[in-house]
Chains A and B, each alone.
Chain A
Amino acid sequence: MENKNFDVNKLLEIQDVSKHFRVSEGILKAVNHVKLDIYKGETLGLVGESGCGKSTLGKVLMGIYMPTEGKLVYHGKKEMEINKKTHFEYSKMAQIIFQDPYSSLDPRMTVGSIIEEGMIIHKMYDKKRRQERVYELLELVGLNKEHANRFPHEFSGGQRQRIGIARALAIEPEFIVCDEPISALDVSIQSQIINLLHDLQKKLNLTYLFIAHDLNIVKYISDRIAVMYLGNIVELASSKDLYENTLHPYSQALLSAVPIPDPDKEAQKQRQILTGDVPSPINTPKGCPFAGRCPRATDICRQEKPVLEMKQGHLVACHHVESR
Chain B
Amino acid sequence: MNKVLEVNDLHVSFDTYAGEVKAVRGVTFELHEGEVLAIVGESGCGKSVTAQTIMKLNPMPPARIVSGEIQLAGKNIVKATEKEMMNIRGKDVSMIFQDPMTCLNPTMQVGKQLTEAIRHHQNLSKEAAHKEALRLLELVNIPNVKQRAKQYPHEFSGGMRQRVMIAMALSCAPKLLIADEPTTALDVTIQAQIMDLLQEIKEKTNTAIILITHDLGVVASMADRVAVMYAGKVVETGTAEEIFYRPSHPYTRALLKSLPTVEMDRSVRLVSIAGTPPDLLNPPVGCPFASRCEHAMKICIEEMPPQFDPSDNHQAACWLLHEDCPSKKDGGE
Chain A positions near chain B (C-beta within 8 angstroms): 49-50, 156-159, 186-192, 194-195, 198, 213, 215-217, 219-221, 239-240, 243, 253-254, 256-266, 271, 273-275, 277-278
A240, B215: Cα distance in complex, Å: 23
Point out the residues of chain B lying under 8 angstroms from A190, CB to CB: 258
Whether the pair B220, A261 counts as a contact (CB closer than 8 A) is: yes
A198 in contact with B266 (CB, 8 Å): yes
Q: Which partner residue on chain B sits nearest A269 by CB separation? A: B221
Whether the pair B219, A216 counts as a contact (CB closer than 8 A) is no
Residues of B within 8 A of A220 (CB): 260, 264-266, 270
CB–CB B260/A49 < 8 A: no
Given contacts A213-B187, A266-B221, A274-B189, 18 further A-B contacts (CB under 8 A): A186-B42, A186-B43, A188-B258, A189-B42, A190-B258, A191-B273, A192-B273, A220-B260, A239-B265, A253-B189, A259-B195, A259-B220, A260-B261, A262-B220, A263-B223, A266-B217, A273-B196, A277-B160
A191: B residues at CB distance < 8 A: 258-259, 270-273
Query: B192 an interface residue at 8 Å Cβ cutoff?
Result: yes
**A145→B128 CA distance, assembly (Å):** 68
> With A192-B272, A254-B188 as given contacts, are A259 and B260 in contact (CB-CB < 8 Å)?
no
Q: CA A256 – CA B43 in complex, angstroms?
A: 27
B152: Cβ under 8 A from any A Cβ? no
Docked complex Cα distance between A240 and B263 (Å): 9
For A188, A195, A259, A265, which residue has the most chain B Cβ atoms within 10 angstroms?
A188
Evaluate contact between A261 and B256: CB separation under 8 angstroms.
Answer: yes
Q: Are A49 and B189 in contact (CB under 8 A)?
A: yes
Say which residue of B196, B256, B269 sits within 8 Å of A195 (CB atoms).
B269
Number of residue pairs spanning A and B whose beta carbons lie under 8 angstroms apart = 122
User: Does B155 belong to the interface (CB within 8 Å)?
Assistant: no
CB pair B276 A258 closer than 8 Å: no
Which residues from chain A contact B220 at a C-beta distance below 8 Å?
259-263, 265-266
Q: Report the Cα distance A261→B157, complex, angstroms.
A: 27
What are the residues of chain B within 8 A of A187 when measuring CB–CB?
A: 42, 214, 216, 255, 258-259
Cα distance, A213 to B184, chains bound together (Å): 12
Interface centre among A190, A259, A262 (most CB of B within 10 A): A259
Q: Is the CB of A219 within 8 A of B260?
A: yes
Q: Which of chain B's residues have a CB closer than 8 A to the CB of A264?
A: 241
Q: How far is the CA of A277 from the CA of B186 in the complex (A)?
A: 11
Q: Which A residues are CB-close (under 8 A) to B1?
A: none
Q: Across the interface, name the chain B residue whose C-beta is closest to A183.
A: B184
The yes or no answer to B308 lying at the interface (CB within 8 A) is no
Q: Are B262 and A261 in contact (CB under 8 A)?
A: no
Cβ distance A278 to chain B, nearest Cβ, rounded Å: 8
Closest to A159 in B: B276
Known: A216-B259, A240-B265. A260 touches B43 (CB 8 A): no
The residue that A259 contacts in the complex, of B43, B218, B266, with Cβ under 8 A, is B218
Chain B contacts of A278 at CB under 8 A? 187
Interface hits, B22-68 → A, CB 8 Å: 42-43
For residue A259, which residue of chain B has the nearest CB? B217
> Is B110 an interface position by the 8 A CB rule?
no
Contacts of A239 in B (CB 8 A): 265
The B196-231 residues at the A interface (CB cut-off 8 A) are 196, 214-221, 223
